[in-house]
Amino acid sequence: MTYNEFLKTKELQSVQAGFDVDRNELNPKGFEFQKDIVQWALRKGKAAIFSDCGSGKTEMSLDFAYQVHKKTGYNVLIIAPLAVVKQTQKEGIKFGIEVNVCRDQEDVIDGINITNYEIIDHFDASSFGCVILDESSILKSFTSATRNELIDRFVATPYKLCCTASPSPNDHSELANHAEFLGIMSRTEMLATYFIHDGSDTSKWRLKGYGEKRFWEWVATWAVCVRNPADLGYSNEGYDLPELNLIEHIVESETKEYELVPKLAETLSERREARKESIENRVEVARQLVEGNNDTWLVWCDYNAESSALHKAIKDSVEIVGADSPERKAQVAMDFAEGKIKALVSKCSIYGFGMNFQSTHQMIFCGISDSFESFYQAIRRCWRYGQEHDVNVHIIISQKEKNVLDNIKRKQRQMEEMQSNMIALMKDVTMSEMKHTTRITTEYKPKEEMEIPTWIA
């Protein structure tokens, strides 16, 4: 054995605990790259699919669930954001897969079930042999009560799948929490193996200088990260994103007597005050945009006062707030997706994750926060694969809030650069895993005939 071969034996690998399935048994409507990913995930038994919006995560997770139930007889529980539950059930119908919506254990049927994150305590985890987390970025927060409950509740579940868009490459806590949920490695072990604690003012964990490539190679043994099929060497036909047009509308801010130009809002309180001062002007710009054509519009806001003012000003709009019932939220989402609503006014926290709103290509942010994830996810509700029109995103802010927009743009550039580096580092291992992995088994080959002890005989 050479030294390099010896080092290879020391590399960390994720143990495969699934089963092989014939490609001909997979969803015939799936693309080739989707079939390969599902086949790979089934071999692993516990895996993550980090795939960009519109690339078919729902289809892949449903196929995974169907194959697990068919092979093992285990009941499956899919957990998703509230507004996504009904949409997933509808997708199941398209592919001939029955998905049962349930709100407590009494609703569970033999097969594939789906519920939302807010009520997982209504279910007995031991009654499911497979759990699937849709929009698994909910695991992002290390201190999240939901994160801890999910990990503890499903620690013994044999089959697990996490599905979300590409994770933030510099947010290693999100990857650590995924690995811990899947049973690959605990967060503490991952940090100790690949990271060093930055003792400077940042006090953050950063990859060891020599360990970046090793880290992403390890991630590639249990996760697939892909923005489009071309990232994995497949044809990109049908997966070209339309143009994204970010259109800025800067409304004037009042200046004080000693100011030539308005002072940029820096602190949180200054930003809130700036938004409060400009609400009337921003709402008027939004109204003119929506009522200026016959398109349907997604109108995002952050504060209740903005939501109420937008709904009041925009003719034929529907407003959804946090206090609305789950049934109303789900129904309005379906109605908007089917083009029955002229303008949907709501917050990113309600509809900004997981929803497919390709029915519209017009969007408004009536003010923005510093959360790039929230901004990016909200845009991807309609700027996704399968969208037939160029997407127009209108950002309406006051002069005092321009630094918030600049901050969002900076974060976007950083994310795109880091994602490209991450996928490049993972590509070779990912392709090797998907094309060549087989279930790990140990064949027993006896070399000597067994002798029965005389005292037993």
The domain that holds 224 is classified in CATH as: 3.40.50.10810
Helix intervals (H) in 183-315: 187-194, 212-219, 268-290, 304-313
Q: What are the φ and ψ backbone dihedral angles of 123, each rounded to 5 degrees?
A: -125, 150
Whether 251 is covered by a domain: the verdict is: yes
Per-residue model confidence as pLDDT tens digits over 355-404: 889 999 999 999 888 888 889 889 999 998 888 899 999 999 988 888 88
Pair 140, 124 in one domain: yes
Pair 343, 394 in one domain: yes
Q: Identify whether the C-beta of residue 408 lies closer than 8 Å to the C-beta of residue 375.
A: yes
CB atoms within 10 A of CB 2: 7
Q: Which residues of the chain have pLDDT under 70?
A: 1-16, 141-143, 166-171, 198-203, 210, 254-261, 435-447, 450, 456-457
Pair 228, 250 in one domain: no
Q: If DSSP codes are grouped into helix, strand and coil, which group holds residue 117? A: helix
Residue among 144, 130, 59, 133 at smallest CA distance from 96: 59
What pLDDT is attached to residue 259? 57
Whether 416 is covered by a domain: the verdict is: no
Pair 48, 193 in one domain: yes
Pair 91, 229 in one domain: yes
Per-residue model confidence as pLDDT tens digits over 406-449: 888 888 887 787 778 777 877 777 777 776 544 434 445 566 77
What pLDDT is attached to residue 442? 42
Whether 188 is covered by a domain: the verdict is: yes
Among 203, 238, 273, give the residue marking a domain's end. Answer: 238
Compute CA 439 distance to the chain's CA centroid, rounded to the nearest angstrom.
27
Where are any strands of DSSP class E within 121-274?
Answer: 130-134, 159-164, 195-197, 205-207, 223-226, 244-251
Among 238, 267, 298, give the residue marking a domain's end. Answer: 238
Q: Tell me the CATH number at 274.
A: 3.40.50.300
Whether 356 is covered by a domain: the verdict is: yes
For strand 46-51 and strand 223-226, is the pairing parallel, antiparallel, or unpaired?
parallel
Q: Identify whether the C-beta of residue 221 lies closer than 8 Å to the C-beta of residue 14.
A: yes
Whether 442 is covered by a domain: the verdict is: no
Pair 299, 397 in one domain: yes
Distance from C-alpha of 376 to C-alpha of 29, rounded to nearest angstrom: 29
Pair 165, 307 in one domain: no
What pLDDT is attached to residue 440? 39
Pair 216, 258 in one domain: no
For 328, the domain range is 244-410
What pLDDT is attached to residue 439? 42
Pair 377, 250 in one domain: yes
Q: Which helix (H) or strand (E) holds 93?
A: helix 82-94
Structural domains of the chain, count = 2
Whether 433 is covered by a domain: the verdict is: no
- What is the separation, in whole angstroms, between the first and last Cα of the chain? 44
Pair 290, 224 in one domain: no
Pair 203, 288 in one domain: no
Among 192, 222, 238, give the residue marking a domain's end. Answer: 238
Residue among 316, 319, 313 at smallest CA distance from 301: 319
Pair 230, 266 in one domain: no
Whether 443 is covered by a domain: the verdict is: no
Whether 451 is covered by a domain: the verdict is: no
| DSSP secondary structure of 396-448 | EEEGGGHHHHHHHHHHHHHHHHHHHHHHHHHHHHHHHHHHH----------SS
